[in-house]
Each structure stands twice: as C-alpha cells, then as structure tokens.
Amino acid sequence: MKLVFLLGKGGVGKTTISAAIARKYSEKYKTLAVSLDPAHNLGDVFEKNLGTKPKKIDENLFASEIDLDDAVKDYIDDLQRTLRHAYRYLTVINLEKYFDVLKNYPGVEESALLEKVRSIVEKEDYDVIVFDTPPTGLTIRILIMTKMTLIWLKELIGIRRKILDRRSAIEKIQGEICVVIDGEKFDIPASEENDAVIKEMLEYQREMENFVSKLRNRSLTKFIAVLNPEQLPYLETKRIMENLDKIDIELSSLVINKYEDNEISRKIAEEFSRLSIYRVPRLDETRGLKALDEIAGLIGDI
C-alpha cells in the first residue's frame, strides 16, 4: 500500500493536484482520494457529491470527504468506550459532562483527524490512498501529534508502572485492594497482567509506533508540497519542510502549480534541487476527469 499526502498553502491547488495524482495512480492501482480539509471541494473537482463513505468515481478510482464533526464525535465515542472499559468504576461516576466539554477542547480536532487517518490507513482496502489535507497549520499539528502522543505514552506508561509497583507492595502487606462506590465493590489491579489501563496504553503505543514508521518509510509514504511561483507559497513551503524535519519526515516532491517561468520558479528549482519537481501550468479547465487526465499526464509517475 502507498500513502500520499499533499501539503501546501491555501488556494495553491492541493485539491486539484491530489485529485489528478489519484487519477494517475488509478490507471494501475485501486486508489482512494480522501479530503481531510473541513472546507471540502474534492467533490467539485471530481464533479460528484462526496461523503464519508468512499464513492466510486471511475474504474479503480474512489473518493471521500471526511466530515470533521463526525470525526470528533467518533473520536469522543471511542475515547468514552475505552475509558469505560479501562476504568470500570468510572461508569458509576457521571462521565457524560466531561465528554461534553471535551468536544470543544483545544487539540481535539487534530486528534480526531489523526485517528480518522489512522483508521482509513488500517482498515480501507486500497493500493493507494491520496490525502488532500487541511491548511498547513492544522496538518502539521496533526503530524506533530503523532510524536507528542508517543512522548506522552512513554511517560504515562512509566507512571502507570510505578503505580502498579506501589499497589503490588501494598497488596503484599494488606491483601487485595478494592474500592467501594455506591455499595458496589471494584477490584483495583496491582499487576500489568490484570491492568486494563496499561494494556490499553501499550496497545496504543504499538499502533502509533507502527503508524509513524509507515509515515517515515519513504518507499511507502510520499509527502508532496504544492506551491505557486509566488513569494508567500514559496516561504510556506520552506516552513513546511522545516516542520516536517522536526518529526523526521522528508518531502519527496514538489509541484509548482500555475507554473510560469519567473524569478521565483527559478529560485524554487535551485533551492529544492534535491527534490523531484513537477510543473503544471495555468489551465483553462481543472474540473472533471478529462481535465484531471491532462494534469495527470503532466505529473507522470509522481
């Protein structure tokens, strides 16, 4: 399976180019184009109404648009299920009010989109998945979230192990530990084998490490920046590279969209000479499969 992520400043042509790349791959592979941008227009480019469920566009070509509110709802529901399972005694405490507030908590959208991407990558049955991403800031935050999550998990697992050690010491002295809430008795685990919380964290750590190693594997995942031959998109692309570098991800290629031979185009070619650079000129028509085929022809086997 191959993953392709398109990054770039607003309006440079990410959606158009990601649709064309998906079209190109679909010549040989079963391909899914996914829009993660809350302001979707992938459907406009394919001239089809899209939703969360992949819709067939043509032979081997499918597309979907992820609804951010749905993603947040699924994320919170999942979190609620996991917590209920791990901390059984919390079910008697009123959790609902916490989850209600959590929906608006900073970082929840990033986490929700990250989990959506992970579930698409793990569950969907395609040879190639092309992601049209939200504006750069949000995309970079989602990617950085993978690294932050791993740092946090490592710390939390360490703390949990210490807690279990202490509990085990207490258990040796006074026997089995339990709490009684509203007359109901709950056992408190004192070993890793019996602790659902640490099992959950170790499992999540394994899954996240697996996902991050996929993102960093250059033969599996491509990060492509789209820009226009203008000053601001050029500066944004430099920032994207610096930020990706912080999480050990490398850009693999660059698409200069609405290309013209000007000073900035030459500067881009010089500065990013170690990347593959593709050029797509300003076209009259950029919507529909016929137009996408033309762009696909220009970018070749990106």
Ligand X SMILES: Nc1ncnc2c1ncn2[C@@H]1O[C@H](COP(=O)(O)OP(=O)(O)OP(=O)(O)O)[C@@H](O)[C@H]1O
Least distance (Å) from ligand X to the CB of residue 13?
A: 4
35 binds, among Mg ion, ligand X, none (CB under 5 to 8 A by kind): none
Q: Is 18 in the site for Mg ion (CB under 5 A)?
A: no
Selection from ligand X, Mg ion, none that 276 binds (CB < 5 to 8 A by kind) is: none
- How many angstroms separate the CA atoms of 193 and 199, rounded? 8
Strand order of the β-sheet with 221-227 is 55-58, 61-65, 31-35, 128-132, 2-7, 221-227, 253-259, 276-281
According to CB under 6 A, which one of 1, 2, 29, 41 is a site residue for ligand X? 41
Using CA atoms, how far apart are residues 97 and 38, in angstroms rounded to an integer? Answer: 26
Nearer to ligand X, 14 or 141 (CB): 14
Binding mask 264-283 for ligand X (x = CB under 6 A): ----------------x-xx
* Per CB under 6 A, 297 contacts ligand X: no
Tell me if 259 sits within 8 A of 234, measured CB to CB: no
User: Rule CB under 5 A: which of 34-63 touch Mg ion?
Assistant: 37
Interaction of residue 14 with ligand X, rule CB under 6 A:
yes
Q: Which stretch binds ligand X (CB under 6 A): 5-13, 76-84, 197-205, 229-237?
A: 5-13
Q: Of residues 37, 65, 109, 236, which one binds ligand X by CB under 6 A?
A: 37
- Widest distance between CA atoms in the chain: 80
Instruction: Round to whole Å and give the CA distance between 48 and 50.
Output: 6
| 251 interacts with ligand X by CB under 6 A | no
State the nearest-atom distance from the C-beta of 185 to ligand X, in Å: 55
Looking at the Cβ atoms of 131 and 272, the one nearer to ligand X is 131
Selected binder of Mg ion within 15, 60, 139, 265 (CB under 5 A): 15
- Minimum gap (Å) between residue 151 Cβ and ligand X: 30
Q: Which does 283 bind (CB under 5 to 8 A by kind): Mg ion, ligand X, none?
A: ligand X
Site string for ligand X, 205-234 (x = CB under 6 A): ------------------------------
Question: Helix (H, G, I), strand (E, B), or coil: what is residue 197?
Answer: helix
- The Cα 298–Cα 302 span in angstroms is 10
User: What span, in angstroms and rounded, lies between the C-alpha atoms of 24 and 21?
Assistant: 5
Between 160 and 287, CB nearer to ligand X: 287
Q: Which is nearer to Mg ion, 14 or 24 (CB)?
A: 14
- Rounded Cα distance, 22 and 105, in Å: 34
Contacts of residue 60, defined as CB under 8 A and 6 or more positions apart, other chains included, come to: 26, 27, 29, 30, 31
Using CA atoms in the order 260, 261, 264, 266, what is the torsion angle rounded to 10 degrees?
A: 140
Task: Yes or no: say if 30 and 60 are a contact pair by the CB < 8 Å rule.
Answer: yes
Q: How far is the CB of 10 from ligand X (least distance, A)?
A: 3
Type of residue numbered 286: T
- The label of the residue with tokens 């908590």 reads 105
Q: In the complex, which residues of this chain contact ligand X (CB under 6 A)?
A: 8, 10-16, 37, 41, 257-258, 280, 282-283, 286
Applying CB under 5 A, the residues found at the interface with Mg ion are 14-15, 37
